[in-house]
Protein backbone atom coordinates (compact mmCIF):
# COMPACT_ATOMS: atom_id res chain seq x y z
CA UNK A 1 0.00 0.00 0.00
CA UNK A 2 1.94 2.97 -1.30
CA UNK A 3 -0.71 5.59 -0.61
CA UNK A 4 -2.28 8.16 -2.91
CA UNK A 5 0.24 10.04 -5.02
CA UNK A 6 -0.16 13.31 -6.90
CA UNK A 7 1.97 14.98 -9.50
CA UNK A 8 3.21 17.67 -9.63
CA UNK A 9 3.41 18.81 -6.03
CA UNK A 10 3.71 22.44 -7.06
CA UNK A 11 2.74 24.27 -10.23
CA UNK A 12 3.22 27.92 -11.05
CA UNK A 13 1.53 29.12 -14.21
CA UNK A 14 0.56 32.34 -15.86
CA UNK A 15 -3.03 33.39 -16.17
CA UNK A 16 -4.63 31.99 -19.28
CA UNK A 17 -2.46 28.88 -19.48
CA UNK A 18 -3.77 25.32 -19.22
CA UNK A 19 -2.61 22.98 -16.48
CA UNK A 20 -3.09 19.27 -15.84
CA UNK A 21 -2.66 17.39 -12.58
CA UNK A 22 -2.41 13.66 -12.06
CA UNK A 23 -3.59 11.47 -9.20
CA UNK A 24 -2.74 7.82 -8.62
CA UNK A 25 -5.04 6.27 -6.02
CA UNK A 26 -4.34 3.36 -3.71
CA UNK A 27 -4.33 0.36 -6.03
CA UNK A 28 -7.44 -1.48 -4.81
CA UNK A 29 -9.53 1.68 -4.36
CA UNK A 30 -12.19 2.07 -7.03
CA UNK A 31 -13.49 5.45 -5.88
CA UNK A 32 -11.46 8.56 -6.56
CA UNK A 33 -12.23 12.12 -5.41
CA UNK A 34 -10.95 15.60 -6.20
CA UNK A 35 -11.17 18.44 -3.67
CA UNK A 36 -9.96 22.02 -3.70
CA UNK A 37 -8.60 23.78 -0.64
CA UNK A 38 -8.02 27.51 -0.47
CA UNK A 39 -6.00 29.24 2.23
CA UNK A 40 -7.58 29.02 5.64
CA UNK A 41 -10.45 26.85 4.49
CA UNK A 42 -11.38 23.20 4.58
CA UNK A 43 -11.32 21.16 1.39
CA UNK A 44 -14.33 21.51 -0.91
CA UNK A 45 -15.62 18.67 -3.06
CA UNK A 46 -15.13 19.01 -6.81
CA UNK A 47 -15.92 15.65 -8.38
CA UNK A 48 -15.65 11.90 -7.94
CA UNK A 49 -15.37 8.69 -9.92
CA UNK A 50 -16.46 5.14 -9.35
CA UNK A 51 -14.08 3.18 -11.53
CA UNK A 52 -14.03 5.12 -14.81
CA UNK A 53 -17.48 6.69 -14.38
CA UNK A 54 -17.67 10.29 -13.21
CA UNK A 55 -20.68 10.22 -10.90
CA UNK A 56 -20.94 13.76 -9.60
CA UNK A 57 -19.55 17.20 -10.29
CA UNK A 58 -19.82 20.15 -7.95
CA UNK A 59 -21.14 23.47 -9.18
CA UNK A 60 -17.66 24.71 -8.22
CA UNK A 61 -16.39 22.84 -11.25
CA UNK A 62 -16.82 25.39 -14.02
CA UNK A 63 -16.65 24.57 -17.71
CA UNK A 64 -12.93 25.31 -17.60
CA UNK A 65 -12.39 22.26 -15.40
CA UNK A 66 -12.44 18.70 -16.65
CA UNK A 67 -11.55 15.46 -14.95
CA UNK A 68 -11.02 12.02 -16.40
CA UNK A 69 -10.28 8.53 -15.20
CA UNK A 70 -10.04 6.64 -18.47
CA UNK A 71 -9.16 3.16 -17.27
CA UNK A 72 -10.44 3.36 -13.74
CA UNK A 73 -6.95 3.74 -12.35
CA UNK A 74 -5.23 7.15 -12.33
CA UNK A 75 -7.13 10.38 -12.84
CA UNK A 76 -6.30 13.75 -14.37
CA UNK A 77 -7.73 17.15 -13.57
CA UNK A 78 -7.30 19.81 -16.24
CA UNK A 79 -7.92 23.50 -15.83
CA UNK A 80 -8.14 25.52 -19.03
CA UNK A 81 -7.50 29.26 -19.25
CA UNK A 82 -6.42 29.51 -15.64
CA UNK A 83 -7.48 32.47 -13.55
CA UNK A 84 -5.94 33.86 -10.38
CA UNK A 85 -8.93 32.56 -8.45
CA UNK A 86 -7.89 29.03 -9.36
CA UNK A 87 -4.87 29.32 -7.07
CA UNK A 88 -5.39 26.65 -4.43
CA UNK A 89 -4.32 23.24 -3.21
CA UNK A 90 -5.91 20.47 -5.27
CA UNK A 91 -6.30 17.30 -3.26
CA UNK A 92 -7.04 13.80 -4.48
CA UNK A 93 -8.48 11.05 -2.29
CA UNK A 94 -9.50 7.46 -2.78
CA UNK A 95 -11.48 4.77 -1.03
CA UNK A 96 -12.92 1.30 -1.56
CA UNK A 97 -16.57 0.50 -2.03
CA UNK A 98 -17.99 -0.42 1.36
CA UNK A 99 -15.47 1.68 3.27
CA UNK A 100 -16.28 5.22 4.27
CA UNK A 101 -12.93 6.74 5.02
CA UNK A 102 -11.07 8.52 2.27
CA UNK A 103 -7.29 8.57 2.02
CA UNK A 104 -5.72 11.74 0.73
CA UNK A 105 -2.68 12.41 -1.37
CA UNK A 106 -0.15 15.18 -0.64
CA UNK A 107 -1.91 17.62 -2.96
CA UNK A 108 -0.86 19.84 -5.85
CA UNK A 109 -0.42 23.48 -4.98
CA UNK A 110 -1.33 25.69 -7.94
CA UNK A 111 -0.26 29.31 -8.12
CA UNK A 112 -1.61 31.41 -10.97
CA UNK A 113 0.31 34.63 -11.57
Partner 1 sequence: AQSVTQLGSHVSVSEGALVLLRCNYSSSVPPYLFWYVQYPNQGLQLLLKYTSAATLVKGINGFEAEFKKSETSFHLTKPSAHMSDAAEYFCAADFGNEKLTFGTGTRLTIIP
The contact set with partner 1 (CB under 8 A) reads 4, 6, 31, 33, 35, 40-45, 48, 55-56, 91, 93, 100-107, 109
Smallest gap from residue 42 Cβ to partner 1 (A): 3
Residues in CB range of 48: below 8 A, 6 or more apart:
31, 32, 33, 34, 54, 55, 56
**Eight-state DSSP code of residue 9:** S
To partner 1, the closest distance from the beta carbon of 103 in angstroms equals 7
Give 44 or 78: the residue with its C-beta nearer to partner 1.
44
Cα–Cα distance, 95 to 31 (Å, whole number) = 5
DSSP code, position 27: T
Q: Which is nearer to partner 1, 42 or 85 (CB)?
A: 42
Amino acid sequence: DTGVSQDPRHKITKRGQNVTFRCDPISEHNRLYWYRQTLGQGPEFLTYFQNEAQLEKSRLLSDRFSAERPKGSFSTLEIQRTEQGDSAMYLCASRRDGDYEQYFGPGTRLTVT
